[in-house]
Amino acid sequence: MNLPPLIQTFVLHFGEMGSRWGINRTVGQIYALLFLAPEPLCADDIVARLGFSRSNVSMGLKELVAWNLVQLRHKPDDRRDFYTTPDDLWQIVRTLVEERKKREIDPTLTLLRETLMHEPASDEERHAQARMREMHELIELLTGWYDDVRRLETERLVQLLTLGARVQKVLEWKDRLVAPGRRAADSDPTA
């Protein structure tokens, strides 16, 4: 790799993490390099910096484009394609979640819906179908929540994400105020 140590550390780590997230190491490293790059990079730049073959870089870029995680840019008087990541980190997260939902959650929901439409032929199938119905209801609940959350402006989303820590602090504060043996409602003037 032809990278400064700080950048190399991040790129290598992102490649390792990428393999745990279901993408190959090369794709993870390409993405990390593009994410940190101050300017859009062409495939030749990526090859030179990461030491990968041109074909590996091309395949990695195609995968990242398919995931909508990189953007194609052109420079005047240059016929090459240049790639970059969105500047907004929240947009990257939203794209990742949406793409994973399309690839992993939506097919499961489709299968569950189709399976739940069949008449069970035995007690074993009735039991299995009841369990599948529970799973379907949970996933529908979560995807409904996701649909609401994804429409939030970033500022509101940050508020929502920090709400859990605030609620926990309030609950801890309330627990300290309640004497042992007393009910919380007895010491809560709003109850």
Structural domain harbouring 122: 89-176
pLDDT at residue 170, as a whole number: 80
Q: What is the DSSP letter of 62?
A: H
Axis-axis angle for helices 123-150, 106-116 (nearest 10)? 140
Distance CA 113, CA 11 (A): 41
| Total number of domains constituting the chain | 2
Q: How far is CA 61 from CA 17, 70, 100, in A?
A: 18, 8, 18
Position 188 in a domain: no
The Cβ of residue 145 has, within 10 Å, a number of other Cβ atoms equal to 10
Rg (CA), the chain: 24
pLDDT at residue 188, as a whole number: 55
Contacts of 173-177 with CB under 8 Å at 24 or more apart are none
Q: Are residues 118 and 160 in the same domain?
A: yes
Q: Which CATH number characterizes residue 40's domain?
A: 1.10.10.10
Q: H or E segment at 73?
A: strand 71-75
Position 190 in a domain: no
pLDDT at residue 65, as a whole number: 93
Segment-wise mean pLDDT, segments of 10 residues, the chain, 191 residues: 93 89 89 96 97 96 93 92 93 89 93 95 96 96 91 87 79 72 56 51
pLDDT at residue 56, as a whole number: 96
Question: Which one of 64, 84, 104 terminates a domain?
Answer: 84
Q: Are residues 72 and 101 in the same domain?
A: no
Position 191 in a domain: no
